Structure 1
Amino acid sequence: MKWYVVHTYSGQEGKVKQHLEAVVEKNGLKEQFGKVLLPMREVTTVQKGKKTVRDRKFFPSYLLVEMEMNKDTMHCVTDIPGVTHFVGVDNKPQPLRKAEVDRILGQGTPEVQETGVVEIPFHSGDKVRIKDGPFKDFDGTVEEINPEKGKLKVMVSVFGRSTPVELDFTQVDAV
């Protein structure tokens, strides 16, 4: 069996996955189908000063399907509501390479694997208000962003002079 990529309508990935699994079960096609995956990743966001961890689709609008490709199995997948097509060339589905599948499934080399992603609601040059710490209620401008540490360097005016202050993402709000 090989892995293929199926394109779905946006937001329909979960329904298509459930429907495909039900069709495979109902029609006794387990020998021709393996796993149906909707790859997800953890994303940490900072909203209103609180960190939240959510699962997000790694490839929105796409599913990975392990299957034996033939006309019957291809039509079994493409006939499901919400499926637009298989990813391929000239209307021919192209299987994924082993290295691509390993990377997506998290079995690739450590340099290639992705860890959780931190979504940063700030950009360099943004105006922010400090809401915690010794500079509480001061306004400043984001100078640098360090996503690995979850820190910002904010330039704050103290006695008429710009002073750099290092803060956590949770210590500031966008103005």
Structure 2
Amino acid sequence: MTESDMLAKTPDSNAIERSLRLAPGPAWHVVRSIGRTDTQVLDWLKRRDVETYYPVVREMRPVRRNKLSRAQRKAGLMILRPKLVPLFPKYYFVRLDLADGEWHELFRLGGLTGLVCAGGLPVRIGDDLVAALRGCEVDGAVPGTTPARVVFAVGDTVRVTNGPFAAQLATVERGIDVALQDIDGETRLTVAIELFGRATPVELMIDHVERV
């Protein structure tokens, strides 16, 4: 089956009858909306007591530069923050009984453009699939990619890349383990640099060192 075989459209009455003969009763379907916000669609369906599921993913997204502090901008850091984004934008899981003709009115007034169909018939989504998606959620959202972390252990050798000690080797004296999105211009790494014949503790900005 090709992607073009699965389209969000309003099936005709014959397709609905064939679908109900194959599997009568209420079932999960996928509907699409165009021209309305997610909040508008979900509120509309909720007011009409339609069981709905709209899965979201928690992803780490860069904070816009104009939202960063002066220190963060000066340090040239990319700060990430969690953001909830739809898993399937503009496609909503709804539980409908297509034998109830009121779904036509629901679609017309709610700004829903059609059901996802395959071979001309509305696609029925199994309860197990919806349950599996919900089972993946943590605090109401499917986890996205794992946030990157910056880790330096005590004893690691690093090279200073900026400032008066640039190009010198140093040894980490105080370990650090911090999520990338939590790093800002105040995040420091304590290292020991050889100065005047002895190891001297120095605090450096985290982006002023690199691993050797």
Q: What is the 5 A alignment of 1:44-55? A: 44-47=60-63, 48-55=77-84
1:36 aligns to what? 52
What is the percent sequence identity of the aligned residues?
Answer: 15
1:8 aligns to what? 33
Specify whether residues 88 and 135 from structure 1 end up closer, same or farther in structure 2 by C-alpha distance, changes over 3 A only.
same
Specify whether residues 117 and 107 from structure 1 end up closer, same or farther in structure 2 by C-alpha distance, changes over 3 A only.
closer
2:133 aligns to what? 104
Given residue 52 of structure 1, which amino acid in structure 2 is its aligned partner?
A: R
Query: Are residue 57 (structure 1) and residue 82 (structure 2) matched?
Result: no
Given residue 28 of structure 2, which amino acid in structure 1 is its aligned partner?
A: W
2:195 aligns to what? none
Please say which structure displays the higher CA radius of gyration: 2
Could you tell me which of 141, 150, 161 is aligned with 1:135? 161
Query: Are residue 69 (structure 1) and residue 98 (structure 2) matched?
Result: yes
1:116 aligns to what? 144
Superposed CA deviations along residues 36-77 of structure 1, whole A, max 9, x for unmatched, are 122111111234521211110111011111232224242133
- Report how far residue 107 of structure 1 moved: 5.5
Given residue 37 of structure 2, which amino acid in structure 1 is its aligned partner?
A: Q
2:36·2:111 contact (CA, 8 Å) conserved in 1? no
Given residue 135 of structure 1, which amino acid in structure 2 is its aligned partner?
A: T
Unaligned runs of 5+ in 1: 25-29, 109-113, 121-132, 139-148, 151-169
- Report how far residue 13 of structure 1 moved: 2.6
In the aligned structure 2, how far is the partner of 1:54 from the partner of 1:3? 27
Given residue 161 of structure 2, which amino acid in structure 1 is its aligned partner?
A: F
- 3-state SS of paired residue (1:59): coil
In the aligned structure 2, how far is the partner of 1:171 from the partner of 1:46? 17
Specify whether residues 85 and 171 from structure 1 end up closer, same or farther in structure 2 by C-alpha distance, changes over 3 A only.
farther
Write 1 or 2 for the structure with the bigger share of strand.
Answer: 1
When normalised by structure 2's length, the TM-score is 0.45
2:34·2:113 contact (CA, 8 Å) conserved in 1? yes
1:46·1:119 contact (CA, 8 Å) conserved in 2? no
In the aligned structure 1, how far is the partner of 2:45 from the partner of 2:54? 12
1:153 aligns to what? none
Q: Indicate the RMSD between aligned Cα atoms, in angstroms.
A: 3.5
- 3-state SS of paired residue (2:57): strand
2:33·2:112 contact (CA, 8 Å) conserved in 1? yes
How many residue pairs get aligned? The number is 118
Specify whether residues 68 and 81 from structure 1 end up closer, same or farther in structure 2 by C-alpha distance, changes over 3 A only.
closer
- Report how far residue 17 of structure 1 moved: 1.5
Unaligned runs of 5+ in 2: 1-25, 64-76, 149-158, 167-178, 181-205
2:59·2:143 contact (CA, 8 Å) conserved in 1? no
